[in-house]
Structure 1
Amino acid sequence: MVYSPGFIAQCEQEKLHLSGAIQPHGVLLVCDRQGLVSHVSANVADWLGENATPAFLLGQALPHFLHEVDASAASLNRGERYVGQCHLAEQEFDVVVSDNGEQRLFELYPVTAHARPLMAPVTSQPLPEDKAELAKQCEQLLQTLQEMSGFDRVLYYRFLPEGDGEVTAEVGREAGMGCYLGLRFPASDIPQIARELYLQNPWRTIPHGKAEPVAIVSREEGAVPNLSWVDLRSASPIHVEYMTNMGVSAAVSLPIVLGGELDALISCHAATPRQLTVSQLSAMHAEVNAFNLRLRDYKARRRLQVFDGLQHRFGQAQAVMMRHGSLEAAWPELSQWLLYTFQADGAVLTIGDTHYTQGSVLSMEALAALKAQVGQDDRSVWISEQLAHDCPGLPLTAVAGVAVVRDLALDPHHTAELYLCREETLYQVTWGGSPDKPVDYRQDGRGIAPRRSFEAWVEQRFGHSRPWSPSARLYLLKLRALLQKAKTLPEEKTASGSR
Structure 2
Amino acid sequence: MTNYQVDLTNCDREPIHIPGKVQSHGFLVAVEATTLNITYISQNIADFIKDNAQNWLGKNINDLQKILLPGLSAQQLNQLINLGIGSKNFESINPYNLELNGDPYFLILTQSDGNIILEFEPTDSDLDVDVQRSIGRSVSEILTGKNLNAILTNAAREIKKIIQYDRVMIYRFNEDEHGEVVAEVKNDDLEPFMGLHYPASDIPKQARQLYKLNLTRIIADVNTDASPIVTFEQGQPLDLTHSVLRAVSPIHIQYLKNMGVASSFSISLIAHGELWGLVACHNYTPRFINFKAREAAKLVGQILSSALEYRQDEEDTEQLVALNSAANEISARLKSDKSTSGSTIVAALTKGDVNVADITNGSGAAVIIDGVLSVLGHTPTGEQIIEIAGWLKANMADSIYYTHRFPEVFSPAKAYSATASGILACALSKDLSEMIIWFKPETITTISWAGNPEKPAEPGENGIMQLSPRNSFETWEQIVKNTSARWTNEEVSTVLKIREEVIYAINRRANEIRLLNERLQLAYEELDTFSYTISHDLRTPLSSVKSYSEFLLATNKSLDDKAKEILNKIVAGADKMNMLIKEILNYSRVGRAEIEFNKIDMTALIGEVAKEVTNAVKSDNLQLTIGDTPNIYGDQTMIMQVFTNLINNAVKYSSRSNPSIVEVKGRVEDQETIYSISDNGVGIDVNYFSRVFELFKRMDNAKDYEGTGVGLAIVKRIVEKHHARIWFESKLGSGTVFYISFRNY
Question: Would you call these one fold, judging by a TM-score over 0.5?
Answer: yes
- 1:125 has 2:140 as partner: yes
Given residue 259 of structure 1, which amino acid in structure 2 is its aligned partner? Answer: H
Give yes or no for the alignment of 1:318 onto 2:328: no
| AA aligned opposite 1:251 | S
Tell me the distance in 2 between the aligned counterparts of 1:443 and 1:322: 70
More deviation, 327-336/237-246: 327-336
Find the aligned partners of 1:193 and 1:414 in 2 and give their Cα distance.
Answer: 40
The equivalent of 1:20 in structure 2 is 20
Cα distance, 1:471 vs. partner? 1.9
Q: How far apart in 1 are the matches of 2:31 and 2:283?
A: 34
Which position in structure 2 is the counterpart of 1:486? 505
Matched, 1:76 2:84: yes
Q: 1:218 aligns with which of 208, 226, 231?
A: 231
**SS of aligned partner of 1:484:** helix
Distance in 2, matches of 1:172 and 1:162, equals 27
Q: Residue 257 of structure 1 aligns to a residue in which SS?
A: strand
Q: Give 2:196's aligned residue.
A: 183
Deviates more, 1:369-378 or 1:204-213: 369-378
Cα displacement string for residues 278-304 of structure 1 (whole angstroms, at most 9, x for unaligned residues): 121111112222222222233344444
**C-alpha displacement of 1:348:** 1.7
Partners of 2:333 and 2:257 in 1: CA distance? 62
Structure 1 residue 262, shift from structure 2 partner: 0.4
CA RMSD of aligned residues (A): 3.0
Q: Partner amino acid for 1:72?
A: L
Name which of 89, 104, 108 aligns with 1:96: 108
Match of 2:166 in 1: 152
Indicate how the Cα distance of structure 1 residues 346 and 7 shifts in structure 2: closer, same or farther if over 3 A, else same: farther
Larger deviation, residues 284-293 vs 35-44: 284-293
Alignment of 1:327-406 (within 5 A): 327-333=345-351, 337-358=355-376, 359-361=378-380, 363-364=382-383, 367-368=386-387, 371-373=390-392, 375-391=394-410, 396-398=415-417, 399-406=420-427
Equivalent AA in structure 2 for residue 349 of structure 1: V
Q: How does 1:54-453 map to 2 (within 5 A)?
A: 54-62=54-62, 63-64=64-65, 65=69, 67=74, 68=76, 71-76=79-84, 81=91, 82-111=94-123, 116-119=128-131, 120=133, 121-123=135-137, 124-125=139-140, 132-176=146-190, 178-322=191-335, 325=339, 326-333=344-351, 337-358=355-376, 359-361=378-380, 363-364=382-383, 367-368=386-387, 371-373=390-392, 375-391=394-410, 396-398=415-417, 399-408=420-429, 416-435=434-453, 437-442=454-459, 445=463, 447-453=466-472
Identity percentage of aligned residues: 21
Query: Does 2:46 correspond to 1:45?
Result: yes
**Conserved? CA contact 1:351–1:414, under 8 Å:** no
Q: Which is richer in strand?
A: 1
Residues 18, 137 of structure 1: CA spacing in aligned structure 2 closer, same or farther, 3 A cutoff? same
Does the C-alpha gap of structure 1 residues 277 and 473 become closer, same or farther in structure 2, counting only changes over 3 Å? same
For residues 70 and 152 of structure 1, the distance between their equivalents in structure 2, rounded to whole angstroms, comes to 42
Most deviating of 339-348 and 383-392: 339-348
TM-score (ref. length: structure 2) = 0.59
Structure 1 residue 136: deviation in Å? 2.9
Unaligned runs of 5+ in 1: 1-5, 491-499
Find the structure with the greater CA-based Rg: 2
Deviation at 1:102, TM superposition (A): 2.3
Residues 170, 278 of structure 2: 8 Å contact kept: yes
SS in 1 for 2:434: strand
Uncovered stretches (5+) of structure 2, i.e. residues with no partner: 1-5, 511-745
Superposed displacement of residue 321, structure 1: 3.0
Q: In 2, distance between residues paired with 1:141 and 1:320?
A: 47
Partner of 1:495: none
Cα–Cα, structure 1 residues 142 and 117, in superposed 2: closer, same or farther, change >3 Å? same
Larger deviation: 107-116 or 191-200? 107-116
Inter-partner Cα distance in structure 1 for 2:26 and 2:482 = 52
CA separation in 2, counterparts of 1:127 and 1:207?
A: 26
Length-normalised TM-score, structure 1: 0.86
Label 1:133 to 1:342 Cα distance change in 2 as closer, same or farther (>3 A).
Answer: closer
Residue type of the alignment partner of 1:245: N
| 1:250 Cα deviation from its structure 2 partner | 0.1
Q: What residue in structure 2 maps to residue 494 of structure 1?
A: none
Distance 1:443 1:30, change over 3 A: closer
Does the 8 A contact of 2:31 with 2:115 survive in 1? yes
Answer 1 or 2: higher relative contact order, Cα 8 Å, separation at least 6.
Answer: 1
- 1:54, CA displacement in angstroms? 2.9
Write out per-residue CA displacement over residues 258-288 of structure 1, whole angstroms, 9 at most, x where no aligned residue.
Answer: 1221001001100011111112111111222
